Amino acid sequence: MYADIGIGDMANDAVSSQSNLDAALLGLTLDRAGAALHEQLAEALRGLVLTGRFAGARLPPSRVLAAELSVSRMTVTTAYDQLAAEGYLAARRGAGTYVAGDLPHLAPPARRRPAPPAPPEAPQPFHPGVPDQALFPHRAWARHIERAWRAPEPALLARADPFGWHPLRVAIAEHLAAWRALDCAPEQILVTGGAWDAFDVIAHALLPPGARLAIEDPGWPTLHALLRRHGVTPHPLRIDGAGLDPAALPGDAAGAVVTPSRHYPTGVAMPLARRLQVLHWAEASGALVVEDDYDSEFRYQGQPLPSLAGLDGLRRTIYMGSFSKLLSPTLRIGYLVLPEALVGRVRDYLAVTGARASLMPQPALARFMAQGEFATHLRRMRRVYARRQSALLAALPGPEWLTVGPDPSGMHLVAGLGPWLQGRVSDRAIAERATARGLAPRALSSHAILPHPPQGLLLGYAGFDEDTLGHAGRTLGALLVSAPRG
């Protein structure tokens, strides 16, 4: 829908018309070797009027325009008089010369203001990986942004380090030491603009051209296309109940991408024996391991599992983390922790390409972490998300429909299809029917590349309150009960 321009808009349009004409007149040039100067000027002014953009605008006094064009005043007055006789200009005694406002054949169509764009659609219940933006400490964050940039430190205005703002890298190192028992130096940390940026660095700075990289299946759906975009050949390997099987890792692969602490999307944790086997494979084959620890901070029961990078001592393992799930997806800040032996190669690459992570939020995030507000925020999110998981479990239908239980970590549950649904309806069909009911579960099979994918539903709960989850769980239950069988 559109709204007509009001009186204030008309006044603004008049000011805009005048300023546009003043700017257009600055571009006028006359050819002294061509036709008579007054004819050239009249033709140029006529062309401006014919655009229909300057109705009612005041032309400069003849003396002023003559000085600007380095011509006689007579040249300008002759051109003005000619256009006035043709009806394009109107002289007002004592007020100057104006572009005529009564040329209907030149008038542009009545302008209408577009209505404000519709707000973005809110995530639908069960959409996985969505943090609750209402929990974000906006006031504290705004305070840190304002403090960092009202009187910025000289280093912020100097040439940026492509590895990121050093105080933020210090804060990340301290966070990893406290939460993941990962000992690393700030110099080993690269601040990235997210997963795409991180894999760009890995692919171009650390892998040989055309490298083959083992990935988990099912897994992050975008990763397959992302790797190919960067010239890397993905080699999917089907996981089992204990995650990636190290025995399946090919000896000629340049590396592997794994989510050992909590596999995405199934939530399976890789046992210690397999973690050590993965590291042994990397050492024996000279390969790199990329450990994607995308949401390990959301752990509700027990102690955090040891990271591969920590077990490896950061010799052949690259640790990848993100703040998208912890703070906001719009922040676009992630990080890599690199083995010391690889830091130089990455710096050489970034010396050519430059950094892609925005410097703007980095000082604020560094202060937010250093002052303990990040840890406080994370603990609060853990408590809230744990309650929401319990609320969802209580609302879901029984095991004959969905097989699902408590998960000690994460932001979504994976529900297998129960015996009354197996072989009778696919997870994709259920997801499509749920979408039509205003829900947004994801089919587990849509995360797989290999044939015969597992069946199940990803049910995100982190971004939705208990009442919403209760209603969504009951709606999904009713949908399953009415699903065609037999």
The predicted-structure confidence for 26-74, as pLDDT tens digits, reads as follows: 778 888 888 889 999 999 898 888 877 787 888 999 899 998 888 999 9
Contact residues for 439 (Cβ-Cβ < 8 A; gap 6+):
124, 125, 126, 472, 475, 476
What does the pLDDT read at residue 326? 83
The predicted-structure confidence for 426-443, as pLDDT tens digits, reads as follows: 999 999 999 999 999 999
User: Domain coordinates of the chain in residue numbers?
Assistant: 2-99, 133-372, 376-481
CA distance 49 to 55: 7
Query: Which amino acid makes up residue 199?
Result: F
What does the pLDDT read at residue 120? 77
CA distance 399 to 470: 17
**CATH superfamily for domain 376-481:** Aspartate Aminotransferase, domain 1 (3.90.1150.10)
Most confident stretch, 104-108, 226-230, 248-252: 248-252
Angle at 278 between CA 412 and CA 317, to 5 degrees: 80
Contact residues for 143 (Cβ-Cβ < 8 A; gap 6+):
none
The predicted-structure confidence for 162-188, as pLDDT tens digits, reads as follows: 999 999 999 999 999 988 889 999 999
The predicted-structure confidence for 2-29, as pLDDT tens digits, reads as follows: 344 343 444 455 566 777 788 888 778 8
Q: What is the pTM of this model?
A: 0.77
Of the candidates 318, 317, 120, 294, the one whose C-alpha atom is nearest the C-alpha of residue 194 is 294
What does the pLDDT read at residue 5? 39
The predicted-structure confidence for 377-415, as pLDDT tens digits, reads as follows: 999 999 999 999 999 999 999 999 999 999 999 999 999
What does the pLDDT read at residue 486? 47
CB-based contact 302:269 (threshold 8 Å): no
Determine how many CB atoms are found less than 10 A away from the CB of residue 99. 24
- Give the pLDDT mean for 478-484: 85
* Burial class of residue 423, CB neighbours in 10 A (0-12, 13-18, 19+): exposed
Query: Which amino acid makes up residue 348?
Result: D
The predicted-structure confidence for 135-144, as pLDDT tens digits, reads as follows: 988 899 999 9
CA distance 296 to 12: 54
Of the candidates 315, 296, 277, the one whose C-alpha atom is nearest the C-alpha of residue 181 is 296
Neighbouring-strand partners of residue 458: 414, 442
Q: How far is CA 457 from CA 24, 61, 236, 429, 465, in A?
A: 61, 75, 21, 11, 20
171-174: which pairs have CB atoms within 8 A and are 24 or more residues apart?
171/365, 171/366, 171/369, 171/370, 171/374, 172/321, 172/335, 172/369, 174/369, 174/370
CA distance 233 to 109: 55
Question: φ, ψ for residue 273 (rounded to 5)?
Answer: -60, -40
Contact residues for 425 (Cβ-Cβ < 8 A; gap 6+):
417, 483, 484, 485
For 93-248, where are the alpha helices, taking DSSP H only?
138-150, 154-157, 166-179, 195-201, 221-229
Q: Return the SS3 of 414.
A: strand
Task: Tell how far CA 466 is from the center of its chain.
Answer: 27
What does the pLDDT read at residue 484? 66
Of the candidates 200, 239, 223, 175, the one whose C-alpha atom is nearest the C-alpha of residue 376 is 175
3-state helix, strand, coil in the chain (%, to 5): 45, 15, 40
Mean pLDDT for the chain overall: 89
Determine how many CB atoms are found less than 10 A away from the CB of residue 15. 11
Per-residue pLDDT at 452 exceeds 90: yes
Of the candidates 353, 351, 360, 335, the one whose C-alpha atom is nearest the C-alpha of residue 192 is 335
Residue 359 in tokens? 């410097």
What does the pLDDT read at residue 179? 86
Classify strands 233-238 and 255-258 as parallel, antiparallel or unpaired: unpaired
What does the pLDDT read at residue 109? 54
CA distance 166 to 321: 17
Which CATH number is 2-99's, of 1.10.10.10, 2.40.50.140, 3.40.50.300, 3.90.550.10? 1.10.10.10
CB-based contact 312:289 (threshold 8 Å): yes
Backbone conformation region of residue 484, classed left if phi is above 0, alpha if psi is from -120 to 50, else beta: beta
Class of domain 133-372: alpha beta
Q: What is the CA radius of gyration of the chain?
A: 32
Residue 317 in tokens? 């393992």
CA distance 481 to 114: 46
CB-based contact 321:304 (threshold 8 Å): no
Contact residues for 247 (Cβ-Cβ < 8 A; gap 6+):
277
